[in-house]
Amino acid sequence: MRDDLLRDLIHSRVHRPQAVAEAAARRRRPGSLLAEHGKLMMIAADHPARGALRAGGQVLAMADRGDLLDRLCLALSRPGVNGVLGTPDVLEDLLLLGALDGKVVVGSMNRGGLAGTAFEIDDRFTAYDAASIAASGFEGGKMLIRIDPEDPATVATLEAGARAVGQLAQHRLMAMVEPFISHRVDGRVRNELTAEAMIRAACVAAGLGATSAYTWLKVPIVDEMERAMAATTLPALILGGEVTEDQDAAFASWSKALALPTVQGLVIGRSLLYPPGDDVAGAVDAAVGLL
């Protein structure tokens, strides 16, 4: 990011905090959740607020905010990219930079389960709520729902998630629910990426809240993806997961999943923002090509 842009951004935050609301009010909203290619293509950048800064072999890849904003602005400028997922600090930076016009904007809601902590499964709602998402004129809210059969903190997250789904629906806004069956392995939380675990998680997520009318699922690639996606009629978006050196294999798995009737697009973060070879534009364009 150019030094003058970064200085202007900081100056606005120091001297004109109201500029955030002003930028949100004048943002041109999208006419649909789907782009011209008929799918939703989102860039995800809500990882830092959970203390998850690693991308591939770079432990602090997402720690440089100017660099992250550079990558986000580049990704959002590419043809076919029509959405972004982030926490208030990231989305407000993008608003001030004028990067969100015409984009589907989804606010990340529960970031309290910090990566690597003893309370990681207690995914409390510490960022957006439904009212602030609606007031900002955004299109939806996203929540992470990790179900650990051995951790009683799970039920509090389920209850809060159900409440958020209902509140978003009252505003007629998308509730993007990212469900996993999770376990602690050697003290660290690990998601179970099997068809059986995904089926169970998807069924629980689909039933959260007083209505599922506005609920979409954000799901990982698993073996037997067809079985996993047959568990629900809710629209689903494929998440990118960890950065992998075998990008061709990742793209092939995304392409195969996109052929399933419930799968309506991609929500990809680090895999496109910090790709092998560091060619963000090339990686984003290749992902859009799958659509």
What local confidence, expressed as pLDDT, does residue 2 receive?
Answer: 82
Using CB atoms within 10 Å of the CB of residue 254, give its burial: 0 to 12 exposed, 13 to 18 middle, 19+ buried.
buried
- pTM to 2 decimal places: 0.96
For residue range 89-127, list pLDDT tens digits in order: 999 999 999 999 999 999 999 999 999 999 999 999 999
User: Which CATH architecture describes the domain 3-289?
Assistant: Alpha-Beta Barrel (3.20)
* Of the candidates 82, 93, 99, 86, the residue with the CA atom closest to the CA atom of residue 38: 82
Q: Label residue 240 by pLDDT band (50, 70, 90).
A: very high
Longest dimension (CA), the chain: 53
Q: Label residue 242 by pLDDT band (50, 70, 90).
A: confident
Tokens of 159: 């209850």
Q: Are 164 and 129 in contact (CB under 8 A)?
A: yes
The residue extents of the domains of the chain are 3-289
